[in-house]
Structure 1
Amino acid sequence: MRISVISYDFWDYDQYIVEALRRKGIDAHHIKITSVTHSGFEERVINAISKTFLNRNLKKEKRKQYVLDSLEKLGHQDQILVLNPDTFDLPTLQKIRENTDVMITYLYDNINRVPVECDKLSLFDTIFSFDDSDIDQYGFKKLTNYIYLPYKPKEQQHPEMDLFYITSYDNRRVALIKRLARKLMKMGMKFQIMIIGKKSWKHQLKNLLVQIPENVFLIFSLKKVSHEQLPQYYMNSKILLDLMREGQYGLSFRIFEAMALEKKVITDNESIKKYDFYNPNNILVLNEDLSNIHASFFETAYEKVPEEIYRTYTLDYWVTHVFKLNIK
């Protein structure tokens, strides 16, 4: 069977899908759009001029052509999974469709936040979504993110931090981080918060940077942290923080990373209570005034998720479900 995954894969999650397929003996390929960049300063300048005066984004055109050229080299595919379908124009999606028997998409964002036109969606045989509101409104099929990290029990870890959080800059998140950090500092918790973004965003937290105690680490970075590095940060903390992005309703990858490493989670996502793995001993859902954060949550041990439930969130289960595979 031949399967291709087409995506930006900005955070390097989608590569795991292809690796899981290959472990099942499938001829799988990842057409990663972000691998196409301008080769130098001259190309960047030309593209800037083209966008300004001709309303043409040459980099986008280059990336579209890369996808189509890649498919031509690979030959006809049995299935193609297109992530980030909003990034393609209709003619490109139609050409992709011509290269496969089955075309699938998984929407990483909800339609309200990242719109996808109906004529584009009509090209897909199956549309998966993690967002309950979109599932109810449009009839998409329910699908969460997946556990891509190898399982590592808490007994094999020796965390030094009480809480860890890494996030891209978001106004809603930063407002909550300020309040939550003050609460944790009063409790004497040792925690680390990493915010990935532009230099100009750092001033948004200036009132929080005054008199930071030694047990608190606020890190600002212009570069994202690689997936190779992330597990080390996670394993060095008892609890992972997960705050919703504005307009987000589904579960982030953080929840599934926490399951793989047997980490407790503090989150503001009320919808997590609907899932079969939810355990109030492991997952604390913040109330509006943060008054339900107590030291006892940090002190009690993590309770293992039953194996039969854990298995349904693994990447192996995910690819079998999405591509309707019968092989083991």
Structure 2
Amino acid sequence: MKKKILFIAPDYFGFNEVIFEGLKKYSNYEVKHVVSAYTKRYKYRHFGEKLQNFFMKLFLNRNLKDEKQQMDFFRVLEKKDRYEQIIINRPDVISIENLQKLKNKTSIMKAIFWDSINKIKGQEETIQYFDQCFSFDSLDCIKYGFSKNHNFYFCDRSADTEPLYDVLFWGTEDGRIYNLIKILDFLNANSLHAHSILYRHLAKNIETHGKSQHITSTYELIPFSESYKVSSRTKIILDIAHQNQTGLSFRPFEAMGLRKKLITTNEMIKNYDFYDPQNILVIDPDNPHLDSDFLNTPYRELPEHILYKYSLESWIKNIIKNNNG
């Protein structure tokens, strides 16, 4: 009988599903996946459920949707099953009480922090419950003793697609938009067709994008598993670093998998072994520049061992490796 791994993660744009499929494909474990929190709204099965939820909220201060979504997670907590490893992505969305219950079900509990501790403060108080913690953020690894695990690519060169843009940035609309507008204006002023597709949360009402004709907003979530298809529509991928982040986002790795050039504001990328100025241009958003050699030379292929190092397979094997004996 195969040993078992329990993988717990929020349903965040389908990021959890990509990792789950990777665990099934690249590990020798039986893998169970439960969702700890949801970004997608629960869909009522019929009108009766919708009516039931209305009265539950009105008279009992309960929400049927939340309860249905959490049911699988609580079933796992109550079962007496034991696991060889429990791997949790975003442990801050799980209560301390439930983290303690999960710790009793395994001898090895691991955390994956997909954002810096500075960016999501609630993560810090969960560290003590884990035997090993992983982060792509270099400063967090030094400060907290985390194991370094860079992000990864899971697409290996998409089918040939005619590019719609010379340069494309796509992501969530946030504080980076001010730098984004400056960079897009600069690139377009230099005869490049540079554009951005931004996802906007319905609850927010940020109108800054209206100041730029080079930005298209959308309320439609793009699943993480489909993200590379958006990036395949451009010759060059644009990456803009978050303020409180020292590690690399997924964009550089996506560019690697798609064999596309990258323009980025993240100076840290120069410290990575895949950095090649023929493929990657680092710019200052306050004083951007263009390098003619970067624009006019073809993409230079990376060695196979470098490509494998940053693949999903390598990422999965690094996570499940038992470093506790």
**TM-score, length of structure 1 as denominator length:** 0.84
Q: Distance in 1 between matches of 2:288 and 2:239?
A: 17
Whether 2:280 is the aligned partner of 1:276: answer no
> How far apart, CA to CA, are the structure 2 residues paired with 1:11 and 1:177?
22
Deviations 1:39-68 (A, max 9, x none): 437637855998xxx8x9886676555313
Aligned to 1:135: 141
Q: Which residue of 1 aligns with 2:23?
A: 21
Query: Within 1, Cα distance between the matches of 2:122 and 2:288?
Result: 39
Which residues of structure 2 form unaligned runs of 5+?
45-49
* CA deviation after TM superposition for structure 1 residue 157, in Å: 4.8
User: Which of 297, 302, 307 is equivalent to 1:300?
Assistant: 297
Give the aligned partner of residue 212 of structure 1: none
Q: Which amino acid aligns with 1:194?
A: I
Paired residue for 1:97, among 103, 127, 131? 103
Gap change, CA 1:48 and 1:93, over 3 Å in 2: farther
Deviates most, 265-274 or 62-71: 62-71
Q: Which runs of 5+ in 1 are unaligned?
A: 210-215
Give 1:119-158 correspondences, 5 Å limit.
120-149=126-155, 151-152=156-157, 156-158=160-162
Q: CA deviation at 1:275?
A: 0.7
- 1:7–1:31 Cα contact (<8 Å) kept: yes
Q: What's the Cα RMSD here?
A: 2.9
**Equivalent in the alignment of 2:89:** 83
Corresponding residue of 2:167: 163
**Greater mean alpha carbon deviation, residues 307-316 or residues 118-127:** 118-127
| Correspondence 1:37 to 2:36 | no
- For residue 82 of structure 1, report the CA deviation from its aligned partner: 0.6
What secondary structure, in the 3-state scheme, does the structure 2 residue paired with 1:284 have?
Answer: strand
Q: 1:205 aligns with which of 173, 191, 209?
A: 209
SS in 1 for 2:180: helix
1:72 positional shift? 4.8
Shift of 1:260: 0.5
1:324 aligns with 2:321: yes
CA-CA distance at 1:115 after TM superposition: 2.0
Letter of the 1:271 counterpart: M
Aligned equivalent of 2:221: 224
Q: Provide the aligned length of Structure 1 versus Structure 2.
A: 312
Provide the rounded CA distance (Å) in 2 between the counterparts of 1:278 and 1:184: 22
Task: Tell whether the 8 Å contact from 1:262 to 1:304 is kept in structure 2 after alignment.
Answer: yes
Identity of aligned residues (%): 29
Contact 2:186 2:288 in 1 (8 A): no
- The question of whether the paired residues in 1 share the 8 Å contact of 2:53 and 2:63 is answered with no
> Map of 1:252-291 to 2, 5 A cutoff?
252-291=249-288
Q: 1:280 to 1:227 in 2, by over 3 A?
A: same
Q: 1:194 aligns with which of 193, 197, 200?
A: 197
User: Structure 1 pair 164/186, CA: closer, same or farther in 2 (3 Å)?
Assistant: same
- Where 1:128 maps in the other structure, the secondary structure is strand
Map Cα deviations across residues 262-299 of structure 1 (whole Å, 9 max, x no partner).
Answer: 01111111111111111111111112433322454232
- Rounded Cα–Cα distance in structure 2 between residues aligned with 1:118 and 1:184: 39
Deviations along 1:184-235, one digit per CA (max 9) or x if unpaired, are 22112123311111466452123323xxxxxx5x311112123454333222
SS state at 2:15 partner: coil
Q: Distance in 1 between matches of 2:208 and 2:285?
A: 21
Distance 1:70 1:184 in 2: 51
Q: TM-score, normalised by structure 2?
A: 0.85
- Which sits farther off after the overlay, 31-40 or 9-18? 31-40
1:111 and 1:45 map into 2 onto residues whose CA distance is 39
Moved runs in structure 1, 4+ residues, more than 6 A? 56-62
Match of 1:178 in 2: 181
